[in-house]
Chains A and B, each alone.
Chain A
Amino acid sequence: MAIDKHTTPMLDQLETGPWPSFISGIKRLRDQHPDPRINEMTNDLLGQLEHSYETRKGYWKGGTVSVFGYGGGIIPRFSEVGKVFPKSKEFHTIRVQPPAGNHYTTGMLRQLADSWEKYGSGLVTFHGQTGNIMFIGTDTQNTQNFFDDINEYGWDLGGAGPCVRTAMSCVGAARCEMSCTNELKAHRMLVNNFVDDVHRPALPYKFKFKVSGCPNDCQNAIERSDFAVLGTWRDDMKVDQAEVKNYIADKGRQYYIDNVITRCPTQALALNDDNTLAVNNRDCVRCMHCLNVMPKALHPGDDKGVTILIGGKRTLKIGDLMGTVVVPFKKLETEEDYESMVELATTIIDFWAENGLEHERCGEMIERIGLANFLDGIGIDPDPNMLSHPRQSSYIRMDGWDEAAEEWFARQAEAGK
């Protein structure tokens, strides 16, 4: 049966130009897909989108949709103009957790495509800004049907609402020489410890884990996650002096003076007269720049681990916050190492669930109660690595100083310093 196609003069203009067009893709579903359900649904979707372009307004409203046994994971969408565009009046997105590091086989992508066209619109994104696979567009009944189908072969819903959210991790050790930890293991151990908190939203607000294997932070963990894990190392970086000389032979001393030596944020580098590199490792902050410029010559050290920062988030409500260092360095080698990281996450989430206000991110709570109180609450001792600099204001009651100073010296003695 031929469908009555909406005219879309504004959207049609997005079919010109060299970049692949999502409008052409939606039209393929409307015009070429064998299933009339998909033809009709995408036709009305295009109709509503054209209406948005004409009026410069959105017409989707949220609601309450989930699958049996869960409370979240679905982004419900009901159309405000569903009378005019009835076939897409319910157009929910299903958030599905990707494998850590976003690896797929074409075989698995096909299987997911087969399931999705059985129940959904045929539109999918790898991945949304939340890190989820976004299966965009289906009605309430098919939300359950699609989930039942893919859940049988290994896929589970991600987070939506005030809950532990889908985590993200970089490609890491699978393909990157900068990797300082097993990102996929850290990612899965963290988020999979909280499946209940992912699927049943009951926290003050969202809580995100992100894992980057080195300080280049390709996952934007510091600025976009409540619990950021960044790979790093604490011994000397490795220098292959023969490769340093090769680089200099290729582009000259001046290039490396201008682009490596003088760009080091802590002036920890010098170029010797014999074209070897001198590194003052005690001044190095592991910023990664020199490794990025000379990947053949410079590598992370052997004593690898992670730095953990807490409380990163975007605007709402008090403004942007980067995460704050709470664990300057932690080894992640043994099972016990990983388990203690998960324990730390549990402690932090429990403390925040207890003390956070409604709609208050973990970082905002820390801002409100103070970092020192937060550290006290989660049982972590203060460390100068947590600050850019010590306090500037004298407005603080300090009659506990002597005890605090004793604790510092006791901890230093215990650490063998």
Chain B
Amino acid sequence: MAEMREPIESGCPDPWQYMHPVMRKNFGQWKYHEHPRPGVLLHVAFSGDKIWTIKAGTQRILDVFSLRKLCDIGDQFADGYVHFTIRSNIEYLVSDESKVQPLIDALEGAGFIVGGTQNSVAMISHTQGWLHCDIPGTDASGVVKSMMDELIDEFRNANMPNRVHITTSCCQINCGGQGDIAINIQHTKPPRINHDLVANICERPSVVARCPVAAIRPAMVNGKPSLEVDERKCICCGACYPPCPPMQINDAEHSKLAIWVGGNHSNARGKPTFQKLVAAGIPNNPPRWPEATAIVKKILKAYKEGAKDWERINEWIERIGWPRFFEEVELPFTKYHIDTWRGARASFNSSSYIRF
């Protein structure tokens, strides 16, 4: 056997070598920024140096042709330095204002979308879905492509009350993260168990321990060691599925989409907040998921019309109240909106504050 190569455990690389010279020179010495137009930021250093950032949305799952196209544009129209945002947008850095417009034209000409700055609907942060995940209830890239096709004007322009971060997740683990609006899979039926496979594939005590409501117990089924689920206790969360694939939670009909709003990671004006359930039972409907997009657009419309400047979705709802929110977005309020989990009591109204 050929000798194996020992890895070089270099860890996280030093970004200094990849940083625009103006950014290296003015590191930690930035004075302020302006927003000359949607998709463009201008940062000015105490030295007087300036750097323009041009932000573009892409398909995120990049083929090497698209990646090289982005590089060609960066070499021909920018300075060869780029930065990726947490929402997978590419940002080009240029120190010469005259390069800004030709760069925008080149990006738009190649089919990329310039925008995503300040009070825009930012690129939807998403996960892998059917393309690559081992437990997905839906696709991620397809949902996002479908929604961004409809929200593209809100990405290109920055005229929402504040920025809007949308996320999608293909299971309840919610890898897409908290969002002003989150579109997540919500399973509605307990797992279907293939008892022939459990003993060979699953480490049964680990699976039992994984259940948040202690609904799983070891059992002999058809003479084989397996697991059984107390379906009266099961909350259909899917936590047993990753450690035990024979406990299939995904269902073509009963894995639905739910929409959550008001997750906000910033400390600005208030402490960070988690998202809250507003809609469920939405069909998981590839390839375009029109029902989910319609609800997202309805929420965005009400927010855009009703919120004050700088209010994020959670702050807007906090001000107008949940009764009016449900009224404005024409969504039903049900017993499922009442939290049953740990700490649920803190979400109950223990005052005489009532909205009319």
Contacts and interface: CB of A to CB of B under 8 A. Distances in A.
Interface of A: 10-11, 13-14, 16-26, 28-29, 32-33, 45, 49, 52-53, 55-62, 67-70, 75, 77, 91, 93, 97-110, 113, 116-117, 122-129, 136-137, 147-148, 151-152, 154-157, 166-168, 170-171, 173-177, 179, 182, 184, 187-188, 191-192, 195-196, 198-199, 215-224, 258-259, 263-265, 285-289, 292-293, 295-296, 299, 314-320, 322, 358-359
Contacts of A45: 131
A171 B83 contact: yes
B206 interface: yes
A295 B42 CA distance: 12
Given A102-B85, A125-B62, A126-B84, A14 B145 contact: yes
Given A176-B30, A259-B309, A21 B82 contact: no
Nearest to A20: B59
A19 B59 contact: yes
B343 A319 contact: yes
A13 B7 contact: no
6 contacts: A58-B129, A136-B131, A173-B30, A188-B14, A223-B274, A264-B269
Contact of A62 (B5, B11, B33, B134): B134
Interface stretch (B97-105, B168-176, B296-304, B322-330): B168-176
Interface of B: 4-19, 23-24, 27-28, 30-33, 43, 51, 53, 57-68, 70-71, 74-75, 80-86, 88, 90, 93, 111-113, 125-139, 141-142, 145-146, 148-149, 152, 172-178, 206, 209-210, 212, 237, 239, 245, 250, 252-253, 255, 263, 265-270, 272, 274, 284, 286-288, 308-310, 341-343
A220 B71 contact: no
Nearest to B24: A174
B83 A68 contact: no
B22 to A, nearest CB: 9
Contacts, number: 355
A174 B19 contact: yes
B228 to A, nearest CB: 20
Given A53-B139, A122-B64, A175-B30, A99 B80 contact: no
Contact of B57 (A19, A33, A129): A19
A182 B28 contact: yes
A152 to B, nearest CB: 8
Nearest to A230: B267
A110 B51 contact: no
Contacts of B176: 129
Contacts of B65: 25, 28-29, 32-33, 122
B12 A53 contact: no
A61 B60 contact: no
Contacts of A315: 172-174, 237
A102 B83 contact: yes
A148 to B, nearest CB: 5
A286 B271 CA distance: 11
Contact of B27 (A148, A174, A199): A174
A168 B84 CA distance: 12
B212 A318 contact: yes
